[in-house]
């Protein structure tokens, strides 16, 4: 099994990338679905039908399989090299992976609601929600690269500050959009 470690690691990384890609894009599609629900007929029905197809395919053909395969390959890596489980940074990383699964499950709940034409969140909420996966991604990457249970905090603080700047920019852009629509 050790001879295949780098192959398994590569597959794990590929499916982590496709998992995050799916999570980033699904939330963007949620924004579009929510905004489509506010349009007039027949545009509303045409867009909603198309977005439902797109989100369904993305969710069940890319995002869920990627999450499962990334996890399977991660478990294989830990099986081959159980020494990683003795390192404190790995415990913190696994905590973020747990948070990622919670985020994923919440996205699944939102996906189901939107498939049933239940709009419980605003498009602005979804834009902010999308930052959750970004923060988790930054934390995990810093942990894996630095292999330090403390230094990753600086990277996460940086992304949170960056997120605040993005949110302020988003509010500014929203005001410009609203002014142009009036």
Binding residues for heme: 12, 93
Say how many residues make up the chain: 182
Residues 6+ apart with CB under 8 A from 176: none
* Residue that is written with structure tokens 């498009």 in the block: 123
For 118, the 3-state DSSP assignment is: coil
* Binding site feature residues: 12, 93
Long-range contacts of 40-46 (CB under 8 A, 24+ apart): none
Torsion angle (degrees, nearest 10) of CA 16, 17, 18, 22: 100
Q: To 10 degrees, what angle do helices 5-36 and 88-115 make?
A: 40
Contact assessment for residue 59 and residue 26, using Cβ atoms and an 8 Å cutoff: yes
Cα 157 → chain centroid: 18
- How many whole angstroms separate alpha carbon 90 and alpha carbon 43? 49
């Amino acid at each position: 099994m050790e001879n295949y470690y780098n192959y398994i690691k590569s597959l794990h990384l590929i499916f982590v990338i496709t998992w995050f890609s799916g999570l980033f894009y699904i939330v963007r599609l949620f924004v579009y679905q929510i905004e489509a629900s506010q349009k007039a007929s027949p545009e509303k029905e045409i867009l909603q039908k198309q977005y439902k197809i797109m989100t369904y395919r993305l969710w069940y053909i890319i995002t869920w399989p990627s999450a499962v395969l990334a996890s399977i390959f991660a478990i294989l890596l830990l099986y081959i090299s159980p020494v990683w489980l003795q390192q404190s940074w790995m415990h913190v990383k696994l905590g973020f992976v747990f948070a990622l699964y919670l985020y994923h499950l919440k996205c699944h709940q939102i996906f189901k609601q939107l498939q049933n034409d239940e709009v419980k969140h605003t498009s602005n909420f979804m834009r902010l929600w999308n930052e959750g996966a970004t923060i988790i991604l930054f934390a995990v990457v810093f942990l894996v690269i630095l292999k330090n249970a403390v230094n990753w905090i600086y990277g996460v603080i940086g992304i949170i500050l960056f997120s605040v700047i993005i949110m302020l920019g988003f509010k500014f852009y929203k005001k410009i959009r609203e002014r142009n629509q009036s």
